[in-house]
Amino acid sequence: MTPRPLSSSTSLLCLLLLLFPPSRPYSLKTCVVEYSLNLQVISVTCADRDLSAVPDDVPKNATSLDLNSNNISTVNRTGFSRLSKLGSLQLQFNRLSHLEDRVFEDLVSLRRLDLGANSLQNLTDDVFQGLNLLEDLSVEKNRLTYISPLVFQPLPRLKTVNLCSNGLHQLSIIASILQLPLITELKAGFNRFASFQFDNPPLNASNLRTLWFNGNPLKRFGVTRDILPRLESLDVSYSTGGLEWKVRDRVFLRSLRSLYLYGTVVSFETYRVILQSAFAVRYLMLAGMTEWIYGGLLKEACRMPALENLDLTSNDIHVLNDTLLQPCSEITELTLSGNVMVDLSEDSLRPLKRLRSISLDYNFLPKVPLAVRGLSTLKVLGLSSNDIRELHCSDFQNLTALRHLYLQKNRISILRGCAFEDLKELLHLNLRSNPVYALQDTFKVSLGNLRILYMGMNSLRSVEKHSFRGLPYLFSLDLESTEICGVENETFYGLHDLKTLVLTPYTLKRDMFRGMPNLTRLTLFLPVFNSLEQQIDPDPPFSDLPFLENLKIYNSNKFTITILPNLLSGLRHLQNFAALRFFPGTPHPDTFSYTPHLTSLQITSSNVSDPKPELLQPLPNLQTLDLSQNMLRSLDFLTRAILSALRWLSLRDNQLTVINKTLLRSLPALTYLDLSGNPFTCDCLNIGFIKWVKTSNQTQVVHGHQYTCYFPLGTQGTKLLDFDVRSCKMDVDFLCFVSSSCLVVLTLLTSFIFHFLRWQILYAFYLLMAFLYDSRKRRQGAPHLAYDAFVSFNVHDEAWVYGEMLPVLEGEQGWRLCLHHRDFQPGKPIIENIMDAIYSSRKTICVISRSYLQSEWCSREFQMASFRLFDEQKDVLILLFLEEIPDQHLSPYYRMRKLVKKRTYLSWPKAGKHTGVFWQNVRRALETGDGPTEDSNLLTASVALED
């Protein structure tokens, strides 16, 4: 028979099981493995955990370890002995004061080591032994005063070294670094180096390309041999020692392209010498030297034949005059940021015929300076963080080559389209953080090349129809507003190339996104409303975005939106959906039925409480799910949703108390699980979850060792993983033991009671029945006494009763007796007949024989009669023995035995021939009143008979 082919869903599941074996969780005590789609990258972060030592549970296959911002003061070799695959180690902002030799020896794969911001005072010869692959080393911001020149010898592949902000002063350290074969970058700023000149310079030329020697008390910078032939960037800013510049041959700096002289205090002549030797420099920073800027230094600088980029940041240039930049006609980039500038003279930039980029950021310009007009070669203009309030039609006149215009963080409230008419080549326009409140016809002018328009954090109140018709090739548009923004239909009509849109709409309605069919990324910031107004049109608002892949909705108004099931209708290609404070309740089960290709879903800070499994069932490709900060109490919906591809799951800050083991089995590809901030229950209901967390491998339970118990109250504040799961097993065993023991004891007790106390139990039962009858009679009032005596006897003694008793007591003495054969009411329960007979008679005569004692009904009659005796405290009971019966035979009738011992009774055998006296005593007993009987002894005749 031909085997049936596997279905597509079965094939996918098999593939996932091969790629991701069934979940085997692990939870690091203090660290987190960063989630990554690249399974080869295992980044572990333990930053800011108040650690005093390297954690011992870092995975062996970790490739990156972040231990920044802890309290680690000592590192032992054993701390890293297992981490042979570690490629990056960060130990910044700890308390390291000393490193043992060979402490990193086991980190054979390490390429980056950061020991910055500690308290290290020295580095010995062998501290870095074993780091043969190390490329990047940082020990900045320590207290280093000594580094062994031999410390870098075991590091043949070292490329960058950062020694900044220490107390170093020995040039031998620098010399040893320059001899490294692959070194390209050395940062040694803010130390105590007084010179950079070697008495015995290295024989081999260095590959060094970047040298930071800034912030040192430099008195001499000397290069006497060609040891830096590849040096491209040199920073000697803030040199405070009266620098002497000695470069024997300027060819030694033939590769130098960037020179930083920020705040360096030297003489004008020294500056001239420096600039002459740096003949190949293209970028020159002359910041913080106002005196020399106006003293002719720019003339010397601009004589540098290769100079292209001049940085004059922070030189207190309040007004740029016409002459300052005249010597610099060949530069192409100019930075004048941070100069508290209020204006530029109209001709101040006219000499710069080749200028392509100018930055006037962070000044106090009240308007676009006239000086920028007519700069036909200008491609980048930076005017951010100024005081510009308005754009005029001629502000950018003739800037026909401009491609990037930065106007963010100004005070522009009105935009005129005419201001951009000449910017035919503009690609990027940034107007963020301006109080622009209307666009009107601003972008109806043709900016045919504009690709990026940033207008976020504005005050737009409305965007009219066809507002962007002059931007046909716009690629990215940011319209985030601090106000409620009304967007008309066809506002974005014609933006066929738009890929990214950020918007703060007043409402979401059909047709508002029409005209940009290729949009792939949409971010919506729903503003704060004062009323509970519905903000979403019943018709699907996104139906005109067939290729949308990423949708993010952030709601500032707390749950005032009515979300309809067809919200995402038409988004067949949606891959990522994020919603913050958006859903006022649990989404409708059909919400995601329109997005079958969704791989990432985020619904946070909402009121999701009880989702149906159908909500996520249409998402077989879902890989990441974030349901943090909701009201979830159960995860049963995930169990039945069939999320076989889910790898990342965050359920932080919900109301989960118990995690079902079935859920964990239903997510075979899960690698990251975050359940922080849930009120867990520490009892046996979570035993499966606790055991699952403690086993290791595939699924990381983030911060699992910090999960806290909230219930029961006695465990509040303790850690969930500290709960002793063995107690659950002990409880089961103990319960079985107790149950079986109780069963055995109950069986023995029942047997004992039946054998020894069955009559006492019967007696108690009869007493109860009598008590209930008596209580009922009392509620009904005083009973009618129809008889003088009720005769209780056994059927075997019936002949004596009818032959001897009745003729005397009824015939001769005239008593009216109640006999069950004669006077009981037919059809009435016998127990009620007995009760009625006893309580309807003044006395009860018990005719006692051996047959009487063996009769069940006779026993009941006696028990009920004796209860009346002791309940009413009246002499209502007459005991008449037909046979001599030993006391021990009366034991089961402990009440009868007690009465016999305490009271006088009548005995027919002892009457003998004196039957007259016997019946006379019975008469006396029947004539006795109803007073108390505790001390009375009315049956005196019987005593005489017995004697």
In the DSSP assignment, the letter for residue 739 is: H
Ramachandran angles phi, psi of 352, nearest 5°: -85, 75
At a CB cut-off of 8 Å and minimum separation 6, what does 60 contact?
A: 82, 83, 84, 85
pLDDT at 897: 52
Dist CA 485 CA 507 (whole Å): 8
* CA-closest candidate to residue 546, choices 588, 574, 523, 565: 574
DSSP calls for 86-134: --EEE--SS------TTTTTT-TT--EEE--SS---EE-TTTTTT-TT-
* Cα angle value 129/133/138 (rounded, 5°): 75
pLDDT at 810: 87
pLDDT at 783: 55
* CA-closest candidate to residue 450, choices 435, 465, 470: 470
Neighbours of 146 (CB within 10 A): 15
Decide the pairing of beta strands 25-26 and 380-382.
Answer: unpaired
pLDDT at 104: 95
- 3-state per-residue secondary structure call for 522-588: EEEEECCCCCCCCCECCCCCCCCCCCCCEEEEEECCCCCCCCCCCCCCCCCCCCEEEEECCCCCCCC
pLDDT at 528: 59
At a CB cut-off of 8 Å and minimum separation 6, what does 773 contact?
A: 835, 839, 864
* Cα angle value 781/785/786 (rounded, 5°): 135
pLDDT at 152: 95
Decide the pairing of beta strands 32-33 and 43-45.
Answer: antiparallel
| Structural domains of the chain ordered from first start | 757-946 (3.40.50.10140)
pLDDT at 804: 87
For residue 483, give the amino acid letter. E
pLDDT at 283: 98
The pLDDT tens digits of the residues spanning 124-145 come to: 999 999 999 999 999 999 999 9
Distances (CA, A) of 378 to 388, 397, 450, 451: 20, 12, 16, 18
Give yes or no for a cis peptide into 712 (omega within 30° of 0): yes
**Residues 576/598, Cβ–Cβ less than 8 Å:** yes
Ramachandran angles phi, psi of 294, nearest 5°: -85, 0
* CA-closest candidate to residue 228, choices 254, 248, 196, 199: 254
pLDDT at 291: 85
- The pTM assigned to this predicted structure is 0.74
pLDDT at 933: 42
Dist CA 230 CA 210 (whole Å): 9
**Residues 868/841, Cβ–Cβ less than 8 Å:** no
Polymer length in residues for the chain: 947
* CA-closest candidate to residue 454, choices 421, 493, 406: 406
pLDDT at 216: 94
Dist CA 11 CA 609 (whole Å): 34
* CA-closest candidate to residue 626, choices 680, 670, 674: 674
* CA-closest candidate to residue 216, choices 199, 197, 195: 195
pLDDT at 716: 87
pLDDT at 150: 93
DSSP calls for 688-700: HHHHHHHS-SSEE
Structure-token pair, residue 278: 């740096």
pLDDT at 14: 44
Q: Residues 552-572, buried b or exposed e (16+ Cβ, 10 A)?
A: bbbbebeebbebbebbbbbbe
At a CB cut-off of 8 Å and minimum separation 6, what does 85 contact?
A: 42, 60, 61, 62, 63, 109
Share of the chain above pLDDT 90, in %: 52
**Residues 75/99, Cβ–Cβ less than 8 Å:** yes
Dist CA 97 CA 121 (whole Å): 6
pLDDT at 521: 97
pLDDT at 9: 43
Write down the mean pLDDT value for the chain.
Answer: 85
Dist CA 775 CA 438 (whole Å): 93
Ranges of residues in the chain whose predicted pLDDT is under 70: 1-25, 202-203, 528-537, 557-561, 696, 729-735, 754-784, 856, 860, 866-873, 888-904, 929-947
Dist CA 455 CA 431 (whole Å): 5
Residue 895, SS3 per DSSP? helix
For residue 374, give the amino acid letter. G
The pLDDT tens digits of the residues spanning 681-696 come to: 998 889 889 888 887 5
Distances (CA, A) of 798 to 765, 823, 863: 27, 15, 21
Residue 303, SS3 per DSSP? coil
Structure-token pair, residue 875: 């002499």
Dist CA 505 CA 437 (whole Å): 14
